[in-house]
Homo-oligomer: A and B are copies of this chain.
């Protein structure tokens, strides 16, 4: 009898594309700015100020493993990494679309969990799910596109850092990389680090806070602090020097570093996927909750770049896809 079939046993192929979509969009409520949500050829919504758009694609086996993370965690991560890109512009999150590729033999319950995660993180970030696409795929793939609005503020670019500015961060650094190192050795602890790898703790609202405080450049830390500040240095044609003693070395990061024989500062300076925010501010303008970690200087004829205590960082670098 169909009514007694466990939903855990049903697969994506059993319910089909439209069944999955119906489950994902069930009971969604739309804010007044959204004239048309899911269910038509496109979503329609009003933007206050300029529109701001970012896309991130997460692929099973590359960005997550189903044996390391739950569906809910994977859904949350897919939204968090995108919302962080809006925070990094200092704008207000508005709506999102989700492209979801899943194998036909996946349990429906797992997709339901992904939807739960997508919506939970969207709520946290201030985003509303307004549409997307569902398809079959060998590997679970989530491609989220988020739209934000400037509400009259100027977006904070990567290119505005000026000599004399200070560098400050807000959010976790090194936790996700430490969590990945732990998971890679078969451990599920320290729990706080592993959880950070599964779902980054994006400092929602801190991007707008920085923009209002006059941040001159900003980025979210996806590839590692040195690598991502390198993008600001390149775009702004400046040198950035970090003070190693300015960084907290959190207990979970210390624990993993001790267990793996690595330098905890290496995790903090080069670990990616935490999606903390890093920004430059005029001296004296660093807002509450941000930690001052360095300074911006002229290139003085040298190449733009990032140093630590005045010297090139000799530890490991950040993460780049396709490269070892």
Contacts and interface: CB of A to CB of B under 8 A. Distances in A.
Interface of A: 12-13, 15-18, 20, 35-36, 39-47, 50-59, 61-63, 85-86, 88-89, 91, 95, 97-101, 104, 130-139, 141, 143, 145, 147-148, 150, 155, 157-159, 218-220, 235, 320-323
Given A41-B219, A62-B137, A134-B321, 4 more contacts: A16-B320, A43-B52, A51-B51, A136-B322
A63 B135 contact: yes
Please provide the 7 A-B residue pairs with the shortest distance between their CB atoms, ordered closest to farther: A143-B143, A57-B99, A145-B145, A42-B54, A41-B88, A17-B321, A99-B143
A42 B82 CA distance: 9
Contacts of A41: 54, 85-86, 88-89, 158, 218-220
Contacts of A59: 101, 135-137, 141
Copies of chain A in the complex: 2
B55 A51 contact: no
Nearest to A53: B43
A276 to B, nearest CB: 13
B235 A39 contact: yes
A54 B131 contact: yes
B131 A53 contact: yes
A320 B143 contact: no
